[in-house]
Structures are given as C-alpha cells and as structure tokens.
C-alpha cells in the first residue's frame, strides 16, 4: 500500500472511530434513559393498579360484591408484568456496559499516545474491563432494588387477598425479592469475560 493510500486509510479509520465513539455515547444515553422511562411508567402503573385494587377490595370487605378472584388474577398479571420489566432493565444493563467498555477501549487507544501532552491527571476511566456488569451501588442497581421491592409488595397484597397465612406471606415475599436479585446478579456476573456477541446473543 502506497504512503498516500496509507494516510487516507488512517484518516478514514480515525473518522470511523470518532463517529463510532459519538454513536456509542448516544446509545449509552438511550439505554440509561430507557431504564428511567420504564421506571416512570411502572410508577404510574403501580399507582393505578394499587388505587383500583384498594377500591375493589373495599367493595369486597363491605360485602357488596366479592372481587377477590378478579383481584388475584389481575394483580398476578400485574406482578408478572413487573417481573418482566425487572429483567428488561437487567438486559439493558448488559447493553449499557458493553457500550461503556467500548468507549473506554477507544479512549485508552488515544490517551496512550498522550496527544498534545495530555496525561489524564484526573484519571478518567479508560479501562475496557469497566464498568463491571454488576455494581452494587450503581444507580441502575438501586433501581433494580426498588423494583424488586415493589414486585414483592404486590405479592404481599395478592397473598393477603387470597387469605394466606401471615407465615406464608412472611416467607414468600422475601423469597421473591431475593430470587429476583440473585438471578439478576448471577446473570450479570455471568456476562463477564465474554465477547459482546456471546454475552448478548449466546454465540
């Protein structure tokens, strides 16, 4: 390859990486915003469900109409939906982390040459192995804790309407909370040391 062609290829490669870097940042914003939007939607969803359920349960208590069966079915569907949204957030975390790691790898490439004498004294992250898929104190993890609690609280209401004993409720609800978190953490940790294709698509 001639020197002229080499220079053109270098320019095209730099342009590609620059564009890719910017697009990945857009993807990161998208995944983070999507998680927030899911939680906003769920906040409205749970508030509406709770209001309707309380109103119908009041009718049941006052012996006007027994809505117990309908409430149990409706709330169970709502719980299933909430659990699905929980795992959607977990899946989004995987996409988010891979985009962040890709950006860090590109940042490392350019900062390793110390352009214009830039030394990164602020120690901006450029490790392609970070962030970890599961970080106990990340904002996304905190949202998962909140959603796991809400789903477990919904189960409390379902079991209460079904006239389950307090002992069963005391066992079932913490178990649901832990099952959600343990499965989510195990899944996220299992994504480490895998290529993006294998971690996301299993291939």
Q: Quote the pLDDT of residue 80.
A: 95
Q: Quote the pLDDT of residue 54.
A: 82
Mean pLDDT, rounded, for 81-105 = 93
- pLDDT above 70 covers what percent of the chain? 97
- Closest by alpha carbon to 41, among 10, 95, 84, 6? 84
Interval 128-156: pLDDT, tens: 889 999 999 999 999 999 999 999 999 99
CA dihedral of residues 123, 129, 133, 139 (deg, nearest 10):
10
Q: Quote the pLDDT of residue 3.
A: 61
pLDDT above 70 (res 2): no
- pLDDT above 90 covers what percent of the chain? 40
Look up the pTM and report it. 0.85
More confident residue, 14 or 69: 69
Interval 178-196: pLDDT, tens: 999 999 999 999 999 888 8
Q: Quote the pLDDT of residue 115.
A: 76
Tell me whether residue 200 is exposed, middle or buried, using C-beta atoms within 10 angstroms of its C-beta: 0 to 12, 13 to 18, 19 or more.
Answer: middle
Pick from 4-8, 71-75, 106-110 the range whose average pLDDT is largest.
71-75
Average pLDDT, the chain: 87
Q: How confident is the model at residue 88 (pLDDT cuts 50, 70, 90)?
A: very high
Mean pLDDT, rounded, for 79-108 = 92
Q: What is the 8-class DSSP label of residue 186?
A: H
Q: In whole angstroms, give the CA distance from residue 192 to residue 203.
A: 15
Helix (H, G, I), strand (E, B) or coil at 9: helix
Q: In whole angstroms, give the CA distance from residue 36 to residue 155.
A: 23
């Amino acid at each position: 390859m001639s020197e002229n062609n080499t220079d053109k290829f270098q320019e095209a490669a730099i342009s590609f990486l620059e564009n890719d870097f910017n697009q990945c940042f857009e993807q990161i914003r998208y995944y983070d915003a999507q998680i927030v939007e899911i939680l906003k939607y769920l906040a409205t969803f749970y508030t509406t469900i709770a209001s309707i359920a309380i109103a119908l349960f009041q009718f049941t208590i006052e012996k006007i109409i027994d809505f117990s069966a309908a409430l149990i079915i409706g709330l169970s569907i709502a719980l299933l939906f909430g659990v699905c949204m929980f795992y959607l957030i977990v899946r989004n975390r995987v996409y988010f982390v891979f985009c962040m790691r890709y950006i860090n790898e590109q940042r490392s490439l350019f900062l390793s040459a110390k352009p214009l004498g830039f030394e990164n004294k602020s120690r901006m992250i450029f490790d392609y192995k970070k962030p970890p898929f599961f970080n106990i104190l990340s904002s996304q993890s905190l949202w998962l804790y909140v959603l796991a609690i809400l789903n477990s609280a919904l189960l409390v209401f379902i079991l209460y309407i079904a006239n389950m004993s307090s002992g069963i409720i005391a066992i079932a609800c913490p178990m649901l909370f832990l099952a959600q978190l343990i499965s989510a953490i195990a899944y996220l940790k299992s994504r480490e040391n895998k290529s993006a294709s294998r971690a996301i698509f299993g291939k």
